[in-house]
């Protein structure tokens, strides 16, 4: 099937891929690999339920083995700290070290963030909403792309100014709703 709509959809996909490659090109040649940068970004933005090897593997669309190697290298370098989950005592959770937080101040993807900001808040919000819809569609089609911010999740319960994760049955602080969760459920339109 061809035509203007198909051509525009193809251009959209090509542009997304090109922007992704450009962002990762900026991280080439440094002392961190693209996967290590992705892990630092992920653990800096993931919620307390998602800071695991499995969570990173799911979000980054890689195997648990590959994710584990990436995370281990960051632990060895002092960028990630491991701890046992208070929730179940078995899961291992990861958090950014102070060195990692300082390192993220030089994140090469910030050039893409700066470029996106030139759209202005209203346009940028609209584009982000459209991209979220594309991601949600892919997630429903694949039944495996389940990652997004809590504020857009179907599990989020808001009552009397308070937030709660309906899936985990846990209260959420206002700041937590902007974090990434791998148990994300797209809201029904």
The pLDDT value recorded for residue 135 is 83
The pLDDT value recorded for residue 177 is 92
The closest alpha carbon to 145, from 137, 157, 154, belongs to 137
Under a CB-based contact definition with an 8 Å cutoff, are residues 164 and 171 in contact? yes
Under a CB-based contact definition with an 8 Å cutoff, are residues 20 and 139 in contact? no
The pLDDT value recorded for residue 51 is 95
pLDDT in tens, the chain (189 residues): 566 667 888 898 899 888 888 777 665 557 899 899 999 999 999 999 999 999 999 888 899 999 999 999 999 999 999 998 777 777 899 999 999 999 999 888 888 888 899 999 999 999 998 988 888 888 777 766 567 899 988 899 999 989 999 999 999 999 999 999 988 888 875
Domain boundaries, the chain: 4-118
The pLDDT value recorded for residue 99 is 96
Second CATH level (architecture) for the domain 4-118:
Orthogonal Bundle (1.10)
CA end-to-end span of the chain, whole Å?
A: 27
**pTM exceeding 0.75:** yes
Which contacts qualify for 152-158: CB closer than 8 Å, 24 or more apart?
Answer: 152/184, 152/186, 152/187, 153/181, 153/184, 153/185, 153/186, 153/187, 154/185, 154/186, 154/187, 154/188, 155/183, 155/184, 155/185
110-117 and 4-25 helices cross at what angle (nearest 10)?
130
């Amino acid at each position: 099937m061809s035509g203007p709509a198909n051509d525009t959809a193809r251009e959209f996909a090509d542009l997304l891929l090109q922007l992704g490659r450009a962002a990762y090109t900026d991280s080439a040649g440094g002392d961190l690999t693209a996967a290590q940068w992705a892990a630092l970004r992920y653990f800096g933005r993931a919620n307390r339920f998602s800071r695991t090897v499995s969570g990173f593997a799911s979000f980054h669309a890689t195997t648990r083995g590959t994710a584990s190697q990436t995370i281990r290298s960051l632990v060895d370098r002092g960028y990630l700290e491991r701890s046992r989950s208070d929730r179940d005592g078995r899961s291992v959770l990861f958090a950014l070290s102070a060195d990692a937080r300082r390192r993220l101040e030089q994140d090469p993807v910030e050039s893409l963030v700066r470029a996106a900001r030139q759209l202005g808040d209203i346009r940028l919000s609209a584009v982000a909403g459209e991209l979220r819809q594309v991601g949600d569609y892919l997630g429903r089609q694949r039944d495996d792309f389940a990652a997004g911010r809590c504020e857009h999740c179907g599990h989020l319960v808001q009552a009397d100014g308070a937030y709660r994760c309906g899936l985990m049955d846990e209260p959420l602080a206002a700041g937590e709703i902007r974090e990434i969760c791998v148990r994300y459920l797209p809201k029904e339109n």
